[in-house]
Each structure stands twice: as C-alpha cells, then as structure tokens.
Structure 1
Amino acid sequence: MLRTLVLLLALVLGVSAGAQQPRGLDSLLGHLIDGDSLPQPRSEPSAPHLERIDSLARLGLRLQAYPGCQIYALYRGRVIYDRAFGSMTRLGGRTEDPNSTFTIYDLASVTKAAATTPALMLLVAEHKVSLNAPLLSYLPETKGSLLGMVTIRQLLLHQSGLPAGINFYTDLIDEESYEGALIRYKAFKGGVPLVGKAWGNPNFRFLDEYIATRRTEQHSLRFSPKKFIAPSFKDRMMERLLSVRVKSDKSYRYSDLNFVLLQQVIERVSHQGLDTFVQERIYRPIGARLYYCPLEHGVKAEVIAPAQDDRFLRGEVLRGTVDDETAACLGGVSGNAGLFGSARELAKVAQLLLQHGTWEGKSIIPAHTVKLFTETLGAGGLRCLGFDKPRRHGGPTGELASHDTYGHQGFTGTCFWVDPRYDLVFVFLSNRTYPSRKNTVLIHERLRQSLQDLLYESLGIMTPRSSLS
C-alpha cells in the first residue's frame, strides 16, 4: 500500500494545475479505495486507512476541486478524524492563507437539515405544527391558492409541486438600467459565466428602494459585505411565491422554495426569527457555534472561507455573507441556506440527532420526534422529513453508508451524514465555489462520497449497501 500511495502522489504531481475537469480519476481512486477483506466493523479505525483520507483530500487540492476542506468524523461518540487541508482562498494546494479546523464555512443547503428541520421537529413535538396541515393553516395569505393546500409534510419531502426556485433578485434590479437580457444562455461580450450554460449581464443598477451601499433605517439587512437590503423586499418575495405555479403532480422534485416557506411557518408560529429560534433552542443548549450572518455576530471575515467571487449580482467576494441569492434577498437568514460554521460545530447537531435528540443527559428534541422525521420516507425512499437519503447506487453518499443514513449536501461543497446503523457521523466542508461556481470537480469526481467510503473502510465496513437486504 505504501508503494501505491507513493505512485499515486507521483501521478498527482503530474496533474495540470489548470485542469478543471480531470479525466481518469477513477483509476487513481482505485489505489486509495481497495476491496481488502477486513473485520466488520472494527472497534478502532485503522490508521493506514485513515491516512488514505489524507491522501485523497490532498489529491482534491491538486485537482483544484476546492481551495481547502475540513473533514470530521465521530464513531460511537468519539472523534476519530479531525483535519483541515489547503487554503481558504488559494487553489492548487498552495499554502497562502492556510485553512484550519477553526475555519468557518458557508454551509449552503446543509442549513435545511441543520437549522430548519430541527426547528420544525421542536414545533411538531410541541403540537404547534402538524405535518399534515396545509400551509394556509399557518400562512393565511395562501388561502384560496393551490399553494395554500400544500402540506408541511409535502414541503419537507420535496413533494409540494413547486418549481426548483425563483430568481427573486431580478426584482431588485432596475429594468431600465441595462440593455438586452439580464441572463442569457450563451457567452457574450462582458458577460459573467453563471451556473450551467447561463451568463449574466453585470451592467445593471439596483433599485434604490431595496439596495443601498450603506446600512440605513430602510436598508437594515446585509445583502453582501458592502451592500444592504430593505426588509420590505420579503413582502415582494412572498407575492411572487403566491403567484407561482404549483403542479398537481406531487412526485419528488427538489426545491429551495419548500424551505423558504417552512421558514415562514416557523417564524409565524414561534414569533421569533429562525436564526434566534435555533440559536436559543438548539445550538446554545449543545454548545454549537453555528451562525446565520456571522459578521453581525462579531466573527471576523479573516476566519471565514470565501464562498464566491460574485462578479455578476453583488460585484464582491462573498466572505461572511451568504452565497445563495434567495437567502441574500432575505438578509442572510433563510430556511434554505444561510448557516455558517466549522465541521466540528456542525457535527454537534449531527451527533445530537444520532443520540435521539439527547445531549449530556438532557432532552433537546424528543426521541420519538427524531425517529419520526428520520424514518418517515417519501416517494421512492429518496428523502425522509427534511433530510436526504442514500440511493441504491450512486447518490449523495458513499456506497458503504447504510440505508439508515440521513443528512444533506450543500451547493458550496459541504455535507453531513448520520449513520445510526454504524453509530457514525461524517462531515465534509469546503468552498469549492471559490473563486467560481463553474468549478464542479468535487461534484463530478464524487470526492465527498469517496472520502466517506474511506472512513467506512477504516472501520472494516466493506459491504456496499446495494448488497444488503
């Protein structure tokens, strides 16, 4: 194995520094993830196998999959892996601006499972929210619309019939301030590449009603490091949600809008902002330093990994303000995104769930509610209530994670997974979107999944779930 690792590193050093979509990585990973027979499972992780995690994380740096990353794992309640790699800002494995285990990351859609869903668990346990109740029970303004008939359960399972998302930010922009289309689907002079084939026209002006370059009484929420948004824009967002087309087909369709609406339910019922609610009821009791809007909580930008150099909408490097545009339109606090933290701190929420909602002998979330949310499956078993699930083949997890596993991935290159069958928590954080969202090496090469499988191998867990009944 040592010779294999030496050969692998030699191969890695030959990878072009500018490669964005490397080929042949599967053959390299074969040297790291082997099929050697091991006892199942071990009581202690195998040190040589843990070293493979180091090697694969460094391979990700060489392939420019991310500037840096954090990996954290708990097994039977004990830390078995806690390391950081690379830089906060420099691709290619360079050592400037070094990353650490204390670096804070934009968790993106992990927010859905680490903030919004636990908040709903509490409200369901307290009989303040019913899973089978329609939205109109909590948001009276949806009465008389198809949206009002969507249930809390359908929102959590992504079976609401809602579209994947809405570009709310277009309503912030003065339509008279630019020529042609704001977003186009082929390259053009002066255009900024966005996600997929989309290109954006950055030559626009924001409406003064909504955006200002300094905080004012009217513009009191942070939109980006140097721009502020009016809270009144939330009303405009709700207007657009009320007019959105809701399909009668309630099959699975992932949508950020589901969790934007769930946030509104939580805030109406609890009479608190989502950020305040989860801080008081979940994070503070378990000592988890997780934040919405970290810059507003005294966290220095220098300890936060930047999520994107946004040259289209905000015209700034996003360091400490949320990457997701929908969450930014809500001032950084949203049900779909907006949470920040390190792998160590996120793992506390994962471990709380693994411990059936109990922390140091105290019940934070009732055990029966954790069981309800994590074992209730939606269409095709693709989701449980608020959480993603493994697929039979491929999917968001490694192949060795059990069918019982639940958790979530985030767009910025993050994930956490809880595996009750093996008493295991796995957390991976990165800023793969910095400097550009066009960097999809992490996704296409399934590095998160491969790192997770290496962790299972270190414990002697070698049988893919597809082989288990």
Structure 2
Amino acid sequence: MNYRSFIFLALGLSFTSRSSAQELVIPDSLPQIQIDVDSLSARPLELSARRLERIDSLAEAGLRMGAYPGCQIFALHEGQVIYDRAFGSMTKLGGKGEDPTNIYTLYDLASVTKAAATTPALMLLVSERKVKLNAPLLTYLPETGGTLLGMVTVRQLLLHQSGLPAGINFYTDLIDTASYEGALIRYKAFSGGVPLVGKAWGNPNFRFLDEYIAMKRSEKHALRFSRNKYIAPDFKERMMERLLNVRVSSNKSYRYSDLNFLLLQQIIERVSGQSLDSFVEERLFRPIGARLYYCPLEHGVKAEAIAPAQDDRFLRGEVLRGTVDDETAACLGGVSGNAGLFGSARELAKVAQLLLQEGKWEGKTIIPERTVRLFTETLGDGGIRALGFDKPRRSGGPTGALASSRTYGHLGFTGTCFWVDPEYDLVFVFLSNRTYPSRQNTLLMRERLRQQLQDLLYEAMGIFSPRE
C-alpha cells in the first residue's frame, strides 16, 4: 500500500462519506484530523456509481425495517477506499435520533475479535515457533494434563473441531443461588422474566456474590464488569476450573465454540507473558495504526462515542455502552479471546488489509507471508473454516454469493463482520448494533442484509457470477 492509499484508509473522508452532514462524535483518544480532500485518490473508474447507490438504499431499508439502529459500511479495492458511509442512529430503531452514528463511531465487534485479535496473535507466535499448531493443549497449559481437554490441539481449537460444547454460562457462578426463587434461566415466558437469546428467559431478581462483584472499583474488584459494576480478577480461576471439568466429545467434527478461543487466549498469555490486549496492541494494532480497543472506556473513549450494544435488563441491569456485550468476556473484565474488541469499520479494515497484503504494511513485515497463507488457506472439516477464520459455503452461509471461495473473515453476534477476498483484492466491513435495545432482534440475520450488501459491492465492481 502506497503512502497516499495509507492516508486515505487511515484518516481520509471517502467520496461517499456522509459525515460532513452531521456533527461528529469523536472519542477523546481519537483526535479529529483536518484532511485535504482534494489530495485523495478518486474511486476506480470501472466502479458503477449507480450500483454503489444501491448499497445506500439497502442500508437505509435496513434502518426502516428496524434491523439495526445504525451501521457503518467500509470497503477497499486494490488498497483504495471505494465505500465509506455511516447510516442511522446509535440508539433509535428506525435510524432517526438525536445521536446519529458517524464514520468514527465505535462498535462492539463481538466474535470478530476472534479473527481480528486472537487469531493474528496466534499467527505471530506460530511464526516465531513459540506455538505449534499440532501441539496438545497440555504443552502450554500443564493443568490440563491427564484430561481429554489436554489432548486437544491448537489446530483443533482454531478450526472449532475440539469436541468442546458451544459455551458455558460462567456468570451463574457470580450469583448467590439463595437470592432468587425458582430457576435462574427458564425456557418459557414467566412473570417478571427478561427475554434472552432464543427461547430462554432470565430471572433478574437475584443478588451477586460480594466475593466477585462490587459497585465500586477496588484492589479486590479491579476489573470492569459493566459501566457501574466491577469484578474480581480471581474469578478467572473459577472459570478455568469449569473449563477443566468440561465434557470433551470424541467427535471432532465442526462445532462452533467460544471455549476454543478462551483457551487460545490462555495459550497466548502464557507463552507471551503478556495479557492478550497488551500483546495485540504492541505487536499488531500499533504497528499498523489501527485504533482498536479492548475496554475502550479505560482508554479515555467517551461512552457517547460508542454505539450501545444492548439494554441488559437481566444480568448487568444497565445499557451496555463501552462495556462488552458478551457475558463470558465480561467475566474476564472485557479482555477475552472470543469477544471484547471495539472499533470503527475503517479501523477494523486496517487489520483486514494487512491480511490481504499477506502480513505486510508500509514496506514492513508484521506477520510473515507464509504464516498468513497457512492460516487462511488451511481448511478444516467440510472446508467451512480456515485456521481462526470463517469461510463461504456452497450455498447460504455467512458471505454473499458473489464472494470468491478464497474469501475469509468472521461474523459478530452484535451485527458485525469483515471479509477479505484475495481473488478480487477486496475488503468489506459491515458494523452495526442490531442487538440494541434487545438481542431478540434477528432481522439482520433473517433478511441476510450483510450478505446482500456485500453482493451489491461486487455488482458495483461488475462481478455477477456466483462462486462455484
């Protein structure tokens, strides 16, 4: 990527940006920089402006149908910004509110964290031969020795072929079981219950154990659980105890599990001697100038610059704005291998572009080319996963139909995604907070809006044939 392209990606206002029409809310730690718009590269001539406008129309249709309060869409082709727009509101479904989103708004990236932070961190350690893909977990976490968990390999964790269940409700260990009546979680509606995910309902009338949760930060309760609650760091030990006792299936076919990336986080931290957030900031984000954050409130980012992820009326009893939506990540103080990263579409695109450039940035090698290829081209069960990345399917699946079979990236629960397509030298990023105010809102997935928007971008490039 040349200097002009880098400035365009990092700071510029693209030809499609609407941000000048609204007052930008920019985090204190992300100072506004004056840009000479005339010096920026124009879009490639082969792109159809009329077809690009169809992306606008579909994004706005998503607002009207209530699929999300607001969203960002960002795309790079051959290192040039070809689309950069923000739509709607941070908080009001229908897209009209007093707090419009903009190109600087930070979103909770949810499981995109797996592919934008945890997996690149593993790439670095594998390239340095500090971690081996075929090594069993007990090599790096000796406490797993003598268990089936200890025999699971790093490769199996990355491919979601570990035999581990989808997840564990670790947060139940934070709650005083004597403080509520009946079941904490039920699978049918009940008076006073709060709808959760799917058919689950939660009983919000409980009390946290003082041992783990407090309303004020202290030496004992040092990590942020939510904006107004703090968690004891030693709860991580309790989480590891539950992981050590989890049932590991002998069936190693594909099953998506957040637990895989909790364990990968532990490997990264044990081997590097650093916390995951410190490691990726030092080795990945800072070298490419990507303003991506775990725990953005701790970095001086104002809550008003962050799109809220959820009005959590069950567990944390507050709007989650700047604190991670994912409960497991919250139990780790917001820094987790499965979720926890925050950022804007243009900042996330820098990590995607780094991968597309096979680990090179401004003439420097951040991740060795052979390692990027190893992770992005090694396929698991059924070819639906690479090492740490999701892949297209023969039909349906997480990507649009026009994305090539070489495409890789990841979806996020809050309504996010990024996709890298080496075949067409293309990066596509979509961010939203479809979970606000409620996780019950599944219109984004039901209508496959992310996939449709991605396909419209390909059509604007003159690509109309679905992958084989």
Normalising by structure 2, we get a TM-score of 0.90
Distance 2:94 2:307 in 1: 16
Q: Give 1:366's aligned residue.
A: 368
Cα pair 1:374 1:385 within 8 Å, conserved: yes
Q: Give 1:35's aligned residue.
A: none
Find the residue that maps to 2:350 and give its secondary structure: helix
What is the aligned counterpart of 2:393 among 376, 391, 402? Answer: 391
Q: Tell me, yes or no, if structure 1 residue 96 matches structure 2 residue 98.
A: yes
Distance 1:463 1:274 in 2: 41
Q: Give 1:251's aligned residue.
A: 253
Q: Give 1:155's aligned residue.
A: 157
Q: Give 1:133's aligned residue.
A: 135
Cα pair 1:413 1:430 within 8 Å, conserved: yes
Find the residue that maps to 2:85 and give its secondary structure: strand
Q: Report the Cα offset of residue 95 of structure 1.
A: 3.4
1:330-345 equivalences under 5 Å are 330-345=332-347
- Deviations 1:268-315 (CA, angstroms, capped at 9, x unpaired): 000000000000000000000000000000000000000000000000
What is the aligned counterpart of 1:260 among 259, 262, 267? Answer: 262
Identity of aligned residues (%): 82
Cα pair 2:91 2:97 within 8 Å, conserved: no
Q: Report the Cα offset of residue 432 of structure 1.
A: 0.1
- Deviations 1:364-423 (CA, angstroms, capped at 9, x unpaired): 000000000000000000100000000011000000000000000000000000000000
Gaps of 5+ in 1: 1-41
Distance 1:54 1:299 in 2: 29
What is the aligned counterpart of 1:109 among 108, 111, 119? Answer: 111
Q: Give 1:422's aligned residue.
A: 424
Find the residue that maps to 2:52 and give its secondary structure: helix
1:300-311 equivalences under 5 Å are 300-311=302-313
What is the aligned counterpart of 2:74 among 65, 72, 75? Answer: 72
Cα pair 2:295 2:340 within 8 Å, conserved: yes
Q: Give 2:218's aligned residue.
A: 216
Q: Report the Cα offset of residue 44 of structure 1.
A: 2.9
Cα pair 2:68 2:432 within 8 Å, conserved: yes
Distance 1:126 1:400 in 2: 36
Q: Tell me, yes or no, if structure 1 residue 186 matches structure 2 residue 198.
A: no
Distance 2:416 2:84 in 1: 15
Letter in 2 for 1:433: T
Find the residue that maps to 1:80 and give its secondary structure: strand
Letter in 2 for 1:327: A
Q: Give 2:446's aligned residue.
A: 444
Letter in 1 for 2:354: L
Distance 1:107 1:95 in 2: 22
- Deviations 1:218-261 (CA, angstroms, capped at 9, x unpaired): 00000000000000000000000000000001000000000000
Cα pair 1:43 1:459 within 8 Å, conserved: no
Q: Report the Cα offset of residue 43 of structure 1.
A: 5.8
- Aligned residue pairs total 425
Q: Tell me, yes or no, if structure 1 residue 318 matches structure 2 residue 348.
A: no
Letter in 1 for 2:126: V
Q: Give 1:290's aligned residue.
A: 292
Distance 1:443 1:218 in 2: 41
Cα pair 1:168 1:329 within 8 Å, conserved: yes
Find the residue that maps to 2:135 and give its secondary structure: coil
Gaps of 5+ in 2: 1-43
Distance 1:420 1:340 in 2: 25
Runs of 4+ that moved beyond 3 A: none
Q: Give 2:357's aligned residue.
A: 355
Q: Give 2:120's aligned residue.
A: 118
Q: Give 1:61's aligned residue.
A: 63
What is the aligned counterpart of 2:233 among 225, 228, 231? Answer: 231
Across the aligned residues of Structure 1 and Structure 2, the Cα RMSD in angstroms comes to: 0.6
Find the residue that maps to 1:387 and give its secondary structure: coil
Q: Give 2:3's aligned residue.
A: none
Distance 1:44 1:217 in 2: 59
Q: Report the Cα offset of residue 93 of structure 1.
A: 2.2
